[in-house]
Chain A
């Protein structure tokens, strides 16, 4: 495996789109349930956890870009083999592949479950999976240009949902936030850790970086994306804490979606139906981009034909999502994925960076 990639002009995209790529990947199934998870950890001080978590996200984004800038045009798979040797590089690469596969599966499963709970109790799982996977295959067949395009387009098709939150805001009770600083530092930190779970997806940067056209301007869009994500999570959590009573929030699994329930227009009585259906457009870029990463990694690691691996991924995801049936299973899977993701995405890059620094110093010492 070559460390650096050769990218054709047709496949590359402007750094500007990184904002949408990173942001849409962070926002996905996770945002639907984040308020409750954070509330369980840090109670009314959950917003502090988010700020702490957001800061850490920025730190990791900074580290990732630092790592990638050490190389000319490499992704994490190439960097790993270069740093840790072929064997460990492949093992770590496989770890990434397994992790991405798991996260893809959880995203799909979680969304299907939401649809079943909110709109269609009897819609078959295989049908929903087929919907998502067929769109995924269709988009990826168009190449990276279309993949990035879906992130971009679907961001604008769904971002307006944020503005409907004004209604719950008017019903907020500030008293729910008092007293401030109740939670202990450990609770806040574990809240921050929980927050990072639900915004997994920054790792995409490690894979798409070689395809960015103007690499000089990578910092700004990535940090803006992370900031926007943090802001959205903060907004949703704060409004949920203010809107729901503490007891209610602990019982509401998808608090974000439940917020939509009181929104109504003169033509539309129950907005949550539309919001949940439209959430498919939030989930789709996730599905598409993660599968693209899978396809790309398999191609990089094992030289598997891209089209074949894409169909393979589609079939595999389809059957695994049918077989995984119970809520408890999905929950366990989500937890496991989140833990793996936490170490792989939020801890591991720091080590890679340290290793890079050590190697640099060692080489410098030797050359003296």
Chain B
């Protein structure tokens, strides 16, 4: 039921109370003032009290003549004031930190926004840490995040669209992209998918990500979630589309290729050859992390011949007391590592360090001494766990850790054939994925050699003149390659 002013004072106060379910937080104040009755409403903790008292109440009570709605809007030294008639619109504004002023008999209520935002300050990034480069990370506040983005992307080309998701509990979502670069189709896909959502609420950006992803049955993330402003802005300036959700410190970027998940902005801050090397290192680590343990299991269960004889002796010695088949042994240890990781993530940081020592050293040592596992397996498992943590994207790292388990079981059941089957399945699976309708394995397939520059290698900035093809940016080139290599300031001797 939509109740509208004008009402009598008593009716107005009653209706407002009803709107707020008789909440004790709604403060109602009446002023008798030059034969006028002013009713002021606000929510206790949502309003900046000092501003309210000094600028609003102070001005209100010190006036020389009676107030009208126009006067309220013009003569009070507060920037944002709006007029509203319907009570259904007034109460959300109050919740967001407005103060309503109602003059009895008038047909409109004036709202002043004095929000008191209890927010965390900008902090160092926790989940995606960089050794060097910008250190701040996004916070839960959309306003702060937009502030940071506007600061980093200093251009009027930046488009910010506002969308509201959530049927019951609403969240504000912002679509961010560069007008002159971002492909209209990509923007439209993202916009469409978000505005088509029919859900009660969106808890976090990563939840929104899962809701709008192309395929929800796969373990691989298709949109990057990041808490780093530099990574976000870097992607936007490449022509991608970004999404921010209020109340979430992470942001969403798409379309993404599989290889983008192994990129870190740190690669850009290092020299190109170092950056390329580290990118290769990460891809290799991913491969190793998937294959190493299954390979051990396959070799020890079925294919002893593969192992060189010198290694076989020490392997045999360390496995001589182990009573389990290699699959069980490997699964046990993999479980141990996963337990450690999970416990370390859940425990308070102070206890977490002891966890690492207890789990890693004591348990590992004891397991070998007790004849539970072989030494070599411990090395292999530790290596592959370490390798899986090199992925700059936490979601991708977890995906890699998960797919290892079925491969280990397959290797235990059918040896190398099982591994190759699993890898083939993985390859076909990745081929079938899309990110915002763009191929996931780009630039590998569809093959675009020049795009390798920006995804798999990192060449010098002077040579990297093309924007990746699969993002389908409006402007394909960053600059004229011919001109970029000339250095005409110094004559070299």
Interface residues of A (CB under 8 A from B): 14, 16-17, 115, 119-120, 123, 127-128, 131, 135, 138-139, 142, 145-146, 149-150, 152-154, 157, 264, 266-270, 273-274, 277-278, 280-281, 284
Q: Which of B308, B309, B425, B427 contacts A268 (CB 8 A)?
A: B308
Contact A269 B417 (CB under 8 A): no
Contact residues of B between 412 and 469, Cβ < 8 Å to A:
414-417, 419-421, 423-425, 427-429, 431-432, 441, 444-447
Enumerate the 9 nearest inter-chain pairs by beta-carbon distance, A residue then B residue, closest first: A277-B416, A149-B431, A142-B432, A270-B305, A277-B420, A269-B308, A139-B428, A280-B420, A149-B445
Contact A153 B444 (CB under 8 A): yes
Contact A269 B309 (CB under 8 A): yes
Residues in chain A near residue B308, CB distance under 8 A = 264, 266-269
Q: Which of B305, B307, B421, B444 contacts A135 (CB 8 A)?
A: B421
Contact A273 B416 (CB under 8 A): yes
| B477 touches A (CB below 8 Å) | no
| B302 touches A (CB below 8 Å) | yes
Query: Quick one: CB contact mask for B387-428 with A, threshold 8 Å, 1 for yes?
Result: 000000000000000000000000000111101110111011
Residues in chain A near residue B34, CB distance under 8 A = none
Contact A142 B447 (CB under 8 A): no
> How many chain B residues touch A (Cβ–Cβ < 8 Å)?
28
- B interface SS class: helix
Bound complex: CA A12 to CA B285 (Å): 35
| B306 touches A (CB below 8 Å) | yes
Residues in chain A near residue B420, CB distance under 8 A = 277-278, 280-281
Q: Which of B415, B421, B432 contacts A119 (CB 8 A)?
A: B415
Contact B431 A269 (CB under 8 A): no
Contact A269 B306 (CB under 8 A): yes
28 A-B contacts, Cβ less than 8 Å apart? A17-B447, A119-B302, A119-B416, A120-B414, A127-B414, A135-B424, A138-B425, A142-B428, A142-B431, A142-B432, A145-B431, A146-B431, A149-B445, A150-B428, A152-B445, A153-B444, A157-B427, A267-B311, A268-B306, A269-B307, A270-B303, A270-B305, A273-B416, A277-B415, A277-B417, A277-B420, A281-B423, A284-B424
Contact B431 A131 (CB under 8 A): no
- Known contacts A149-B441, A269-B306: A123-B427 contact under CB 8 Å: no
- Known contacts A123-B414, A139-B428, A149-B441: A131-B306 contact under CB 8 Å: no
Residues in chain A near residue B416, CB distance under 8 A = 119, 273-274, 277
Contact B417 A16 (CB under 8 A): no
Would you give the shortest CB distance from A225 to chain B, in whole angstroms? 15
- Known contacts A123-B414, A127-B414: A281-B424 contact under CB 8 Å: yes
Residues in chain B near residue A146, CB distance under 8 A = 428, 431-432
Bound complex: CA A150 to CA B427 (Å): 8
